[in-house]
Structure 1
Amino acid sequence: SSTKPCSIGCCGVSGVCGLGPDFCGSGNCTSSCDAKSECDPGWGSEWSSAEKCPLNVCCSQYGFCGTTTEFCGNKTVDKPSCSGSSANGRSIGYYEGWSITRVCDAMTPEAIPVGAYTHLNYGFAYINPDTFAVAPMSESDLGLYSRFTGLKESNTGLQTWISIGGWSMNDADQPTAKTFSDLAASSSAQTAFFKSLLSFMTTYGFDGVDIDWEYPVASDRSGQPSDFENYPSFLKNLRAALGSTGHNYGLSITVPSSYWYMQNFDIVSIEKIVDWFNVMTYDLHGTWDSSDPYIGPYVYAHTNLTEIDQTMDLFWRNSISPSKINLGLGFYGRSFTLSDPSCTKAGCPFSSGGNPGQCSASSGTLMDSEIDAIIASGNATSTLDKDAAVNIVTWDTNQWVSYDDATTLKMKKDYANDLCLGGTMVWAVSTDNNNGTASSSLLQLNSLIKKSLFGGQTPQVSSLSQCVWGDCDADCPAGTTPATTGKGKSASNVAIYTGCPSKQERKYCCPTDDVPTCHWTGSAPLCVSHSCADDEVQVATDQSAGGHSCWFNHKSLCCSATSSDAAVGKCEWSGRAPLCASGSNHASCASDYPEYLTDSVDGQGGESVCYTDIGFKSLCCTDPIPYQNCSWYDILGHRAPCDPRTNVDYRTTRAHSFLAPFTCNTGCPAGQQIVAESYVDHDSQAPCWHNTASYFWYVPMPIFMI
């Protein structure tokens, strides 16, 4: 009426609200007569704010924009179609810098299941709202950046990027709420930012930058109307600045999955500037739905392939190349407390967010590691929603969460390949469990060079002349066969657990035409006689392999001396635990093995150790020494001392961060083999309380082609 205006549209003479000349025209309107429609269904510019809808979505007969049949009728979107594996070659994982602060299920950079990814993005860095310099989200990030980018040392081809922004940077109560808007609107601010960013990337070794602005223009996210035009301009300037260095830095942005927020991105202009879009096709639903008048307090999965397809249509409507799109996958779930425990399907009412997880400590969200534990308890029911390509788990009477497992990840990966997408991205690698279960599922789906899940690439064999220890929980490389102990039905593969996650092992892989036969020697419990015969070589040691454990000494894995394990036979350990040498010296080398290579309290590993104040075992070899370019490593691929000064935490102690400074992670970079292990640093003699440091040698070429 004339005294009660319409919330949307013009008030017609009949008291009904609407848009266009029939409601807003002279003689037809009583109030709010200057209201205009979102788009023009044929009324003309006098009655419409714009001729077309944002992102080329459909304009209804009533002047509103949308994508459903109410707006589009029978119109369909032309989708790309492929029969290949386009999305398998690019796999991006986000790492939460704050994950190390969790009380349990913390993840350090060294614990990332890096083998499943081609790119890792560190989340997040911020922008100083006063100086526009790159700033850490937390002071603890400063100690993590180099460790994160250092993962490239042992993972050939891996790229590490910095992601700037994130959801909380634009929170209204933060000093950075409008920083992106201010930056995009000011050339002087951009000059300062670009200078700082390039220095930051050079200092820490980042290969690219991902801009995560959540979200431009949107008033509920501190956006400004000018952001729509300013964002592409800012990105264009950023691309130019990155290119001015002569370094091939990458540039990407994150984009939302909802039309409501994506309409404020000029994706057509931005496509020409960035390498790709990381599409956040997760968090489609959560507890925030309770205040949404169009959804309400009803449970729906945080990821849903039907809704994801509607998001992808927004790109196809604007002719965006599918090769520039990475489909977002979530390694977490949104959880709810059901109002009615008997109603557990999508669409049932919820009363609140789900109970906080022990490690994530946040109502309404559970990490994959926590969901896996709930399922493993045996008290949960899991149901596959095939249409949505997601699992629903219910437990404790009224708890409900959606999540992805190997089956649903494959369904989404197949969907991405069918649409010719360029890749996938994960939020977040740091919410996976200790064994990297979700990342392992991705690794099996990706068409990447075969990798060990926790780092290091399995070299592709060209002409293998020596035996090598393979990757954890993996088959031997092509052209090699695992050595075995025993014969016939009693035969089993030779394997060790060194440097592998719990319950995984490495096979002893030898050239198929020259496979030695092996056996463990040394009878428990004393294991006094553990020497190999003259025509054998010792390739590994262990205190419990092959049966009962040794009280003292150790067992030896003895293999027939062949050309494939000849190098191993050219060295032997001198010194016997626990009194390995006098004082703090290392044991002397015998005349038949005169060349000292290194020393260790553990020797080859898996054996009784020396008292560190009464000497070390020595690795003694013939002349010339068969191993090349040897170094001690305390992290997989990192040449660093294993002592309290390193302040390093690893996956073996993720729930015990207080052990971090004394924890080492056995493993070797690609193309190297373990020769020795030690739980004591040679310089400081500080102990590794979990695992050991490792001594590696480079396998001489042309053994491997990488």
Structure 2
Amino acid sequence: MPAVAAAAPAPDTHAAAAQTHDQATPGVRAAADGKLVGYFAEWDVYQRDYHVKNIDTSGSADQLTHVNYAFGNVQGGKCTVGDSFADYEKTYTADQSVDGQADTWDQPLRGNFNQLQKLKEKHPGLKVLWSFGGWTWSGGFAEAAKNPAAFAESCHSLLEDERWAGLFDGIDIDWEYPNACGLSCDESGREAFTEVTKALRAEFGGDKLVTAAITADASDGGKLEAADYAGAAQYVDWYLPMTYDYFGAWDAQGPTAPHSPLTAYDGIPKEGFDTSATVAKLTSLGVPAEKLLLGLGFYGRGWDGVTQDEPGGTATGPAPGTYEQGIEDYKVLKERCPATGTVAGTAYAHCGNQWWSYDTPETIGGKSDWAAQQGLGGSFVWELSGDTADGELIKSVR
């Protein structure tokens, strides 16, 4: 797997992992304004064996309004290709292809980009954005921020490359984190994020989408205060606050806590680390609620060496995972460690010595209702490969 696929050992990052409720209260669900964005990770085509075709066969494409393709890289102050093989070189056989047609040796475009073109042809209302950065590749934004106009021009040129011209309906920026620390620390200054989004809007104009995945850290003095997210909001179509990975086994001894709590609860390890606090902070800063999407994780985070059923127990380290310790797809966890309780609007499971937290169709339905009540612009998911083959989770969002 590419190095970019490594999950972040820190809160509120885009992790590289991963009875439906959609019949209930349909009026409330519809009021959530319909945006449903699903991240598709380029590395899914390797070990995970999840391809663009699966977005269609799972029923996800029928639910989604937008697909965010993750990730492009940021190098030398410019947008660059992340993985050329996965993006536009990999040859697809007929049975792997969205439309059942095999790639030929001489066709100008193959890989995920060609398959995404086919997906859009089959689902004409679906839009695709190219997402840049992520946990592994955000270090390049510091250089980009020195000349935002040149950065924006490079991104526009890459998205409109003649080989895949017309595929992308916009750009998504996943900068972890402006004027704060992620895998590396950024010292671009409080206004850098605003200047970058302003330049992107100027370059892409009004007919292309400009969106941004942002921190969900609403603690006092936390990452949401490090950049002017309110000032930048005028330049983006919407924000995707990463309201997951609040807690995890990077705190190896615990306390166990749900990684994506909707609300605070008695004993929560850190104030400001829950979805409602994130949304409240952003709206209090002046970001319109309709420009915020609810973030949903299609995976769980877990600990080993846990004896206590409820949250707040001690642990000896991260629970084993298929691709990385401490993280596992929902489709695996629902069978291996079924939910045994709920806390703060999300589910948890204690099985043997392991303790996991993850969302289920029921908790996603509840979160969707909450998002509608808050007037949010919709929801987004990280990321599509964690769902079941028949799209159990995605179908519970809408």
**SS at structure 2 position matched to 1:284:** coil
Trace 1:598-637 onto structure 2 (pairs within 5 A).
none
CA RMSD after TM alignment: 2.2
Aligned to 1:230: 192
Decide which structure has greater strand share: 1
Q: Which amino acid aligns with 2:141?
A: F
Aligned positions of 1:253-332 closer than 5 A: 253-259=212-218, 260-290=222-252, 297-306=254-263, 307-332=274-299
Say which SS state the counterpart of residue 336 (structure 1) adopts: strand
Question: Could you tell me how far apart the structure 2 residues matched to 1:393 and 1:84 are?
Answer: 27
Q: Which residue of 1 aligns with 2:42?
A: 97
One of 249, 265, 270 as aligned partner of 2:208? 249
Q: Deviations over 1:248-281 (max 9, x none)?
A: 1101001111132221221111111000001111
* Inter-partner Cα distance in structure 2 for 1:371 and 1:83: 29
Q: How far has the Cα of 1:84 moved from its partner?
A: 7.6
2:51 to 77, 86, 108: 108
* Secondary structure in 1 matching 2:37: strand
- d(CA) in 1 for partners of 2:123 and 2:66? 11
| 1:122 counterpart = 2:122 | no
* 2:393 is equivalent to residue 431 of structure 1: no
The answer (yes or no) to whether the contact 1:84–1:420 under 8 Å persists in 2 is no
Q: Is 1:420 aligned to residue 370 of structure 2?
A: no
Check whether the contact 1:329–1:425 (CA below 8 A) recurs between aligned residues. Answer: yes
Q: Does the 8 Å CA contact 2:77/2:144 hold for their aligned counterparts?
A: no
Can you list the C-alpha shifts for 1:270-306, whole angstroms capped at 9, x where unaligned?
111000001111111111234xxxxx62110111111
* Contact in 2 for aligned 1:338/1:348 (Cα 8 Å): no
Residues 63-82 of structure 1 mapped to structure 2, 5 A cutoff: none
Identity %: 29
Q: Report matched runs for 1:211-226 at 5 Å.
A: 211-226=173-188
For 2:123, give the aligned amino acid: N
Match of 1:286, SS state, is coil
SS at match of 2:390: coil
Q: How far, CA to CA, are the matches of 2:305 and 2:30 in structure 1? A: 40
Larger Cα Rg: Structure 1 or Structure 2?
1
What is aligned with 2:348?
Answer: 392
Measure how far apart 1:145 and its partner are. 1.6
Looking at structure 1, the residues matched to 281 and 183 of structure 2 have their Cα atoms a distance apart, in angstroms, of: 21
Residue 231 (structure 1) shift = 1.6
Matches within 5 A, 1:344-363: 344-357=309-322, 361-363=323-325
- Code of the residue aligned with 2:230 in structure 1: it is V
1:18-57 correspondence to structure 2 within 5 Å: none
Contact 1:146–1:204 (8 Å) recurs in 2: no
1:182 correspondence with 2:143? yes
- Cα deviation, residue 214, structure 1: 0.5
Instruction: State the shift of 1:344 in Å.
Output: 2.2
Aligned partner of 1:152 among 116, 120, 126: 120
Give the residue type in structure 1 aligned to 2:386.
T
Match of 1:338 among 302, 305, 314: 305
Task: Give unpaired runs (5+ residues) of structure 1.
Answer: 1-81, 171-176, 291-295, 375-379, 447-706
Pairwise CA distance, 1:204: 5.9
State the distance in 1 between where 2:260 and 2:84 align: 30
| One-letter amino acid of the counterpart of residue 163, structure 1 | S
Q: 1:121 to 1:220 in 2, by over 3 A?
A: closer
Q: How much has 1:131 moved relative to structure 2? A: 6.6
- Structure 2 CA distance, aligned partners of 1:327 and 1:84? 13
Residue identity matched to 1:97 = E
| Contact 1:124-1:165 at 8 Å conserved across structures | yes
Whether contact under 8 Å (2:72, 2:130) holds in the other structure is: yes
CA distance in 2, matches of 1:257, 1:382: 25
Give TM-score, length-normalised by structure 1: 0.45
Residues 201-600 of structure 1 aligned to structure 2 (within 5 Å): 203=165, 205-243=167-205, 248-259=207-218, 260-290=222-252, 297-306=254-263, 307-339=274-306, 341=307, 343-357=308-322, 361-374=323-336, 380=337, 382-385=339-342, 387-395=343-351, 397-442=352-397, 446=398
Query: 1:230–1:314: structure 2 CA closer, same or farther, 3 Å change rule?
Result: same
Distance in 2, matches of 1:347 and 1:141, equals 42
Say which structure, 1 or 2, has more relative contact order (CA 8 Å, 6+ apart): 2
Q: Secondary structure at the match of 2:145?
A: helix
Change (3 A) 1:428 1:233: same
List per-residue Cα deviations over 1:447-484 (Å, max 9, x = no partner).
xxxxxxxxxxxxxxxxxxxxxxxxxxxxxxxxxxxxxx
Q: What amino acid maps onto 1:125 in structure 2?
A: G
SS at match of 1:269: helix
Give 1:100 deviation, angstroms. 1.4
Match of 1:140 among 56, 66, 86: 86
Question: What is the alpha-carbon distance in structure 2 between the residues aligned to residue 305 and residue 159 of structure 1?
Answer: 28
- 1:556-587 CA-partner distances (Å, limit 9, x unpaired): xxxxxxxxxxxxxxxxxxxxxxxxxxxxxxxx
